[in-house]
């Protein structure tokens, strides 16, 4: 007597643990992956107000005008300049060590005015901002070393005394950078 085998159907793979494995892999990648976040430029803006702003009259002598055109060319006080020279020129303008009539009366009255073109590249814009901020940091470090014997950055402790020292230095060299809304500033050739 020959027996016929009953067909059980196709062999199946047990996939009940597949969902668990996929879930564990998902959690692993979420936990171990770092996401780069572009932080941008840290600038503290004044609070919003509905009132018309008071227009301050600034002597032209106390204004350091910087224009950045669509071809990433820098025009400082009406003359072309390389970005590498910007920091030293801003420092000289703010300090005015030789009391020139073309430079600021004092760091307390000085304003750096920066305007860029709408077509300016982001890298050129950031490069100019880095030089402007670097000029102020250099002045803060110089003054901090003169007054306290340490760099300005070394005064970033949580001590109340360090914060007061920082405020003193920032009062001597306040960062006054006026940034105008981007425009079609210049058409270079």
Work out whether the CA dihedral 92, 182, 134, 141 comes out positive or negative. positive
For 167-187, what is each residue's pLDDT tens digit? 999 999 999 998 887 776 554
Lay out the sheet containing 79-81: strands in order across: 79-81, 74-76, 63-68, 111-116, 177-179
**How many Å apart are CA 42 and CA 45, to the nearest integer?**
9
**More reliable by pLDDT, 165 or 4:** 165
For 30-63, what is each residue's pLDDT tens digit? 888 887 776 666 776 677 888 887 777 778 889 9
Q: Are 173 and 106 in contact (CB under 8 A)?
A: no
pLDDT value at 188 more than 60: no
Nearest to 169 by CA among 189, 184, 155: 155
Question: Hey, what are 5's tokens?
Answer: 């085998």
For 64-117, what is each residue's pLDDT tens digit? 999 998 899 999 988 999 999 999 999 999 999 888 888 899 999 999 999 998
Residue 31 buriedness (CB in 10 A; 0-12 / 13-18 / 19+): exposed
| Residue 86: φ, ψ to 5° | -60, -45
Sequence spans of domains, the chain: 60-179
pTM of the model: 0.69
**How many Å apart are CA 140 and CA 147, to the nearest integer?**
10
């Amino acid at each position: 007597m020959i027996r016929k085998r009953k067909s059980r159907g196709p062999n199946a793979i047990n996939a009940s643990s597949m969902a668990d494995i996929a879930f564990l892999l998902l959690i692993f990648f979420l936990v171990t992956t770092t996401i780069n976040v572009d932080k941008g430029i840290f600038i503290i803006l004044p609070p919003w107000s509905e009132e018309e702003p008071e227009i301050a009259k600034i002597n032209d002598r106390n204004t350091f005008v910087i224009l950045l055109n669509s071809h990433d060319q820098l025009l400082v006080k009406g003359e072309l300049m390389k970005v590498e020279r910007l920091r030293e020129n801003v420092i000289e303008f703010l300090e005015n060590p030789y009391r020139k009539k073309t430079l600021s009366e004092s760091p307390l009255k000085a304003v750096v005015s920066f305007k860029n073109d709408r077509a300016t590249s982001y890298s050129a814009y950031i490069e100019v901002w880095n030089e402007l901020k670097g000029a102020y940091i250099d002045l803060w470090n110089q003054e901090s070393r003169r007054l306290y014997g340490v760099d300005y950055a070394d005064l970033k402790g949580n001590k109340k005394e360090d914060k007061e020292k920082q405020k003193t230095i920032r009062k001597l060299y306040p960062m006054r950078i006026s940034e105008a809304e981007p425009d079609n500033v210049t058409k270079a050739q």
